[in-house]
Amino acid sequence: MISDNQLPLFDQLPEAPRFDLPLRRLKYPVWTENKARLIERYLYYFVLVTKHGTYIDGFAGPQEAEKPDMWSAKLVLESEPRWLKHFFLFEKDPKQIARVQQLADSQPPRTRKGNKRNIHVIAGDFNESVHQLLSAGRFSKKEAAFCLLDQRTFECHWSTVEALARYKTEKYKIELFYFLSNGWLDRALAAQKDFAVLESWWGDPDWCNLRSMPHLDRAKWLSSRLREQLGYVFVTPWPIFERKGSSRVMYYMIHATDHPEAPKLMNRAYFKAVEPKEPAEQFRLDFSRAKEPAA
Ligand SMILES: C[S@@+](CC[C@H](N)C(=O)[O-])C[C@H]1O[C@@H](n2cnc3c(N)ncnc32)[C@H](O)[C@@H]1O
């Protein structure tokens, strides 16, 4: 049994949500306001394990400029320990670029002995710039890398997702955290008259099947494409609810990774996103215990 004030070990953590159950049965769901905290918490665990890494944010500007505590790039940049080494923050809207640049400028300066971080703000369309980033080899293929694809609805092209998935040929692929809208997807699909936009987003003309599909099946379908077409070993759609207590799923954050520990870390982050961060020592203890072979 797990008491409320005790941190569960990985093998005692609740299972990832079963999507064949009504989602309102989930005990500790994350709602929209806490999405950035989920991302921050996951990367906190990620960096405690990897001790280094690259963070790519394809759509980095704040969703709500007046609510900086809900801004993923800000929470991740300011999270301690500052062991993620390379940041690539992409943004195409001029006002948003200024905000992202201001955030980057407000970070502690690089120093020879201490802070070795690089923060790159890249202005322009991520769907184009991503190819330059990858072909220029600006971070090592051996390095652990996480990419947030936090689009509004149809902005992230499938070819971009493919390029990210194919970049690393050593160790694990770049981890993805892909935003799939749900609450407004029917309306958005009906309103979008330029089918080329939908085809670039989905990657083929099959997007039209989404119109008649039950909501959860869309998330499952995209997850299976990430597994089958791009080769990710573990893919899990995490529902993000409208608000506390609501059973309305506004969107899914789909986590795609090859690392066997990563889904457990995301599971832990999802259920703990709104709680105070546990100290690194506590996390390490849990992590090493969870890896011990059963006696
Ligand atoms: C939903 S917001 C991102 C929210 C943000 N991740 C947060 O935590 O608040 C999407 C951002 O992507 C930007 N954007 C839209 N299309 C883009 C593209 N093709 N390339 C780069 N940025 C884009 C928008 O200007 C906006 O700032």
- Per-residue pLDDT tens digits for 118-169: 999 999 999 999 999 999 988 889 899 999 999 999 999 999 999 999 998 8
In the chain, which residues have pLDDT < 70? 1-29, 291-295
Identify the pLDDT of residue 25. 45
Q: Is the CB of 199 under 6 A from ligand 1?
A: no
Identify the pLDDT of residue 5. 36
Identify the pLDDT of residue 284. 87
Q: Where are the domains of the chain?
A: 28-290
Q: Is the CB of 62 under 6 A from ligand 1?
A: yes
Q: From the CA of 12, how far away is ligand 1's center (Å)?
A: 37
Q: Is the CB of 192 under 6 A from ligand 1?
A: no
Identify the pLDDT of residue 285. 86
| CATH number at 28-290 | 3.40.50.150
Q: Is the CB of 126 under 6 A from ligand 1?
A: yes
Identify the pLDDT of residue 99. 98
Identify the pLDDT of residue 246. 85
- Burial class from Cβ neighbours inside 10 Å (0-12, 13-18, 19+) for residue 236 reads buried
**For the whole prediction, is pTM greater than 0.85?**
yes
Q: Which atom of ligand 1 is nearest to the CA of 58?
A: 21
Q: Which atom of ligand 1 is nearest to the CA of 127?
A: 19
Identify the pLDDT of residue 85. 95
